[in-house]
Amino acid sequence: MSRIDAKFAELRKAGKKAFVSYVMAGDPDYDTALEVVKGLPGAGVDVIELGLPFTDPMADGPTIQLAGQRALEAGMTLQRTLQMVRDFREGDSDTPIVLMGYYNPIYSRGVDRFLEEAKEAGIDGLIVVDLPPEEDSELCIPAQAAGLNFIRLATPTTDDKRLPKVLQNTSGFVYYVSITGITGAAAAQSGDVGPEVARIKAATDLPVIVGFGIRTPETAREIASVADGAVVGSAIVSEIAEGKSPAEVLSFVKSLADGAHSA
């Protein structure tokens, strides 16, 4: 059982919904980002999504794109992202970490080497948004064999014909993208999301977590009430972009976590 599986089993037993937060590794710099990441569990975060900076993040809106640029300009690399996970693990061996990014940096490093290093560093799962199920042999299946969950995204355009393909090698949880388009672009609506989550849950036993378009504690609660949890990324990254201190960022994260946990 992975840390992700264990966390969702624990939440299920407690009758609680999950709160997942996304931050970009190295934004605005290594030390500040590490301080924020280390503070996330204490702010109520159940699963951490850690963004891997990349030069061409096609699924991300301007907020996350700029965060990636700031991180790259500050010298962030795949190697330093893995080091950040190691540094986090020195004080936290329980909170699951999902590395979210694109395939190019992983491919450049070499899949086998990357998976060995990721597992050793303390990463629990991967979300690689530009690898479709047709390419599962590239990374998904080797990742599962290495003991890492491979988390797939389902979207409003994932119809009943496509859904089984998306789910076939997915593990950990399913990430439902609540809106069409890029991150941070529109507001999620629980009335739209609920039926879609129910449709996905009818096809899998995995938890279904909803992200994109969640910016307030109220929306986090509404979305978590119709799913197994909520993900917030752009709204948190915006706080960092505004130059808020780690303490201020974490206070905002706690308000979102409280919202999701009250569902």
The Cα 236–Cα 252 span in angstroms is 8
CATH for 3-261, options being 3.40.1480.10, 3.30.365.10, 2.40.33.20, 3.20.20.70: 3.20.20.70
Q: How far apart are CA 111 and CA 137, in angstroms?
A: 11
Question: Cα separations (Å) of 62 from 59, 179, 211, 256?
Answer: 10, 16, 16, 21
**Alpha carbon distance 256, 263 (integer Å):** 11
Q: Note the pLDDT of residue 191.
A: 86
pLDDT at 227: 97
Active site residue 35: no
Encode the chain (263 residues) as per-residue pLDDT tens digits.
899 999 999 999 999 999 999 999 999 999 999 999 999 999 999 999 999 999 988 878 899 999 999 999 999 999 999 999 999 999 999 999 999 999 999 999 999 999 999 999 999 999 999 999 999 999 999 999 999 999 999 999 999 999 999 999 999 999 999 887 666 666 778 788 999 999 999 999 999 999 998 999 999 999 999 999 999 999 999 999 999 999 999 999 999 999 999 99
State residue 2's pLDDT score.
94
Residue 236 in contact with residue 21, Cβ under 8 Å? yes
Question: Of these residues, 5, 46, 60, 136, which one is catalytic?
Answer: 60
Residue among 27, 46, 49, 124 flagged as catalytic: 49
pLDDT score, position 186: 67
The answer to whether the beta carbons of residues 100 and 234 sit under 8 Å apart is: no
The first and second tokens of residue 10, run together, are 């624990």
159 noted as active-site residue: no
Per-residue model confidence (pLDDT) at position 187:
75
Beta strands 153-154 and 149-150: pairing type? unpaired
Q: Cα-atom radius of gyration of the chain, to the nearest Å?
A: 17
The four Cα atoms 161, 164, 166, 169 give a dihedral, to 10 degrees, of -160
What pLDDT does residue 181 have?
67
* pLDDT at 159 (0 to 100): 94
- Picking from 124, 148, 175, the residue whose alpha carbon sits closest to that of residue 7 is 124
CB atoms within 10 A of CB 111: 15
SS3 175: strand
* Domain boundaries of the chain, sorted by first residue: 3-261
